[in-house]
Chain A
Amino acid sequence: MTTAPLLDVTGLHKNFGGVQAIRDLNFELAPGELLGIIGPNGSGKTTAVNLITGFVKPSSGKVLFKGRDITGQPAYRIVRIGIARTFQMVKPFYQLPAYKNMIIPLYSPRVKKLVGGKYGDRDAVALDLLEEVGFERDARVAYKVASALPQGYLKRLELAKAIALQPDLVILDELFSGLSLAEVASILPIIEKLRIEGKTIIMIEHRLKELFRIADRVIVLNYGQKIADGTAADVMDSAAVKNAYLGSE
């Protein structure tokens, strides 16, 4: 890399009482890159994200973000430094309207710091952010209670919550899962917009076609280990990857 990597993961290991979930994970991420992480179910993708974002403590290894060592830091501190993530199982606050769901990220100390003091009106900012991710303002979708919204909107809400934190690195954990092709097609432009704004993105995905269209680089995990790292084309040609997904003769 000519410029310093935004994220630098070295020798990451995680052992869950006998189960080796992640084994010697190493990769770097340049600023502005869109990295895809793929792999069969149970290969440790979400665990890897949990380790990086502080929801789980690594057994060993190091994670550097913008040159700072964030290994083992608690999740809230890592968020404040500039990493935001979404969760695979979307769990909004169901009894609240969509825009009220945004209040909590907007209440975050990181947002306070970047905006300089208190937001005048979090409700207004929430509505703006939701409009950016596709909550039609005229239809007043943002005012609907979260329990009444379909999965497509809930995923977008989750995305909006991450964006609200104005992160440098956004990690999307299976954002497209459970969405129809049309819904995926409507979210892709939003991700494109994030890229144009200069954000670095990591996407864990199962829907390879959509991912390969936008990813700069792809990492493949299998049984907790990285078995491939390169462009989408390289990775799909790799024998190891084919083996992992389809099995060998």
Chain B
Amino acid sequence: MFLGTVVYAVINSVILALMAIGFNLTFGISGVANFAYGALYIFSAYTTWMGLNLVGLPYPVAAVFSILLTMLVGAAMYRFVLLRVRGQALSEVIATFGIGLAILEIFRYLGFVGFEYTLPVFIDDSIIIAGVYIDMQRLLIVIIGTAAIFLLWWFTHHTRLGLAFRGIAQDERTALTLGIDSDRIALLSVAMGAGIAAFAATVIIPLGSIAPAEGYDVLIKALAVCIIGGLGSTGGVLTASFLIGFAERFTDTYVSSHWTMIVSLAAILVVLAVKPSGLFGKQKELEERI
């Protein structure tokens, strides 16, 4: 049982990390609070489902289309809403929260709830590693997820666009003087964050079914990971994902499933009280106070 828990904890951690890096990109790195993140995640899942089941597209096409559509929605959200309230972080929160709410509740209202709302797994098979039974989808998630995280790390540290993202988070005015168009960058970061959320949804949703309630859960989990790990730090996101992932799995196996979310939520509170910049956040120390 122990080994099984460990293996599933690793899988859970990668899942959490995948969910969080999109949010981390947008908020931690570009400073744009996107509380519609969870909603975009679910939106993309439903879009893929509709492409697959209503329009009859092949699975990969539906998935790619859905990711692109979600990115467009993210960009539109920025262009028409966030742009007007940019800088007032609290209005950003309210506005994006309102949008996310509207999206999720529309789906709930239109009746998109039920077991038939699910996406097929990529490869319907399973293997045994170290005496533990793992289904292929989960294995794929670990592989794809790890690759995605490294790709994103390389992007934010080694490409001009990625560095620009981090620039406007650190000091927007300086970035402007360097010729970085902060609005365009913010737009791109919101769109990319949305795209990553969509990508994560495509890979993770096949494990279960699509439900609007998941949207709130995903937002909370992403927030938890980013806060604990330290906003803006990819290493922090990884560490926090593993910490929470392991804590959740072990709580689930050895205590009871009810307590899993409580553990993550309690962890957030503890971190905020003790080291608010997160485990790995450094430069935010000044801005954290006041």
Contact = CB atoms under 8 A, between A and B. Distances in A.
Nearest to B290: A55
A109 B42 CA distance: 52
Nearest to B285: A17
Nearest to A75: B290
Interface in B252-290: 282-283, 285-286
A76 to B, nearest CB: 11
Interface string A1-30: 000000000000000110000000000000
Contact of A56 (B282, B283, B286): B286
Nearest to A74: B289
A16 B284 CA distance: 11
Interface residues of B, number: 4
Contacts of A16: 286
B212 to A, nearest CB: 41
Contacts of B282: 17
A56 B287 CA distance: 11
Contacts of A17: 282-283, 285
A78 to B, nearest CB: 15
Interface string A48-75: 0000000010000000000000000000
A47 to B, nearest CB: 11
A16 B286 CA distance: 9
A16 B287 CA distance: 12
Interface string B225-262: 00000000000000000000000000000000000000
B231 to A, nearest CB: 15
A121 to B, nearest CB: 31
Contacts of A56: 286
B47 to A, nearest CB: 42
Contacts of B286: 16, 56
Nearest to A50: B286
B283 to A, nearest CB: 6
A199 B282 CA distance: 39
Interface in A212-237: none
B279 to A, nearest CB: 15
Contacts of B283: 17
B132 to A, nearest CB: 42
A22 to B, nearest CB: 14
B264 to A, nearest CB: 28
A16 B282 CA distance: 9
B256 to A, nearest CB: 42
A17 B288 CA distance: 15
Interface string A162-179: 000000000000000000
Nearest to B283: A17
Interface in A184-213: none
5 contacts: A16-B286, A17-B282, A17-B283, A17-B285, A56-B286
Interface of A: 16-17, 56
